[in-house]
Amino acid sequence: MDRAGVGGGEGGARLFIAVCFGAETTGRLAALRDEIRSASRRGRFAPDGNLHLTLAFLGECGAVEAALAADAMRSIAFEPFYAAIDRIGRFRRADGDLWWAGLREDAPLMSLHRRLSERLRDAGFGAEGRRYSPHVTLGRGVRSDMAPRAVEPFGEAVRSILLMRSDPAEGGRSYSVVRERLAEPPGTGPSLPSYDLTPIKCN
């Protein structure tokens, strides 16, 4: 079993499957974050390198779970699709709200999430209790008078999904890529998935 990059085989790691964005989209997300930050009395705001869209949260995983998650990613085929961010909003929290940039719930994104979740459930991962609401977290513990609103849609083509680990870091968490699953070229249909094992940096 391949244990590379996952918790050193002993302690495990907190894993999730995500989409990361290129510099331009990240810059637009960072501008929204900065706007919320400047309208807030307090909050912990995500650094640029932490801005991502979670497709599935896996929790603490050992080497076996990490391999099962990688298998689930490998077993679904998807073509590149456009991910559009079209609003900012919040999840209310007693200790300060979580502010996010919301993804338009287009069919390719929702289908990818649904198929991935089914494979993960089949592999024994617990189902998410709540409806999937695709978002990029911009800030946590936020106290602000800002109101949720639509933004001029922006985004980019998603060409891969990433198995990522989350580790405690000074002032928050740091994320790193464990595996990358590339999209299939358009029109090729289901085929043997390409699978790049090279760890890459998220932004």
* Binding site residues, ligand 2AM, CB under 6 A: 16, 54, 57, 137, 166
Nearer to ligand 2AM, 16 or 45 (CB): 16
Nearer to ligand 2AM, 56 or 63 (CB): 56
Residue 9 amino acid letter: G
Shortest distance, CB of residue 3 to ligand 2AM, whole angstroms? 21
Q: Do residues 41 and 144 lie in contact, with contact meaning Cβ atoms separated by under 8 Å?
A: yes
* Residue labelled with tokens 């609003």: 87
* Burial status of residue 35 (CB atoms within 10 A of its CB: 0-12, 13-18, 19 or more): middle
Shortest distance, CB of residue 100 to ligand 2AM, whole angstroms? 7
* Ranges of H-type helices in 51-124: 63-75, 107-122
- Helix or strand or coil: residue 45? strand
- Helix or strand or coil: residue 89? strand
Nearer to ligand 2AM, 13 or 63 (CB): 13
Nearer to ligand 2AM, 148 or 185 (CB): 148
Nearer to ligand 2AM, 134 or 155 (CB): 134
CB 84: neighbour CB atoms within 10 A? 16
Shortest distance, CB of residue 184 to ligand 2AM, whole angstroms? 25
Shortest distance, CB of residue 16 to ligand 2AM, whole angstroms? 4
Q: Do residues 185 and 193 lie in contact, with contact meaning Cβ atoms separated by under 8 Å?
A: no
Alpha-carbon torsion (33, 19, 134, 57), positive or negative: negative
Shortest distance, CB of residue 22 to ligand 2AM, whole angstroms? 18
Which tokens in the block code for residue 72? 């689930």
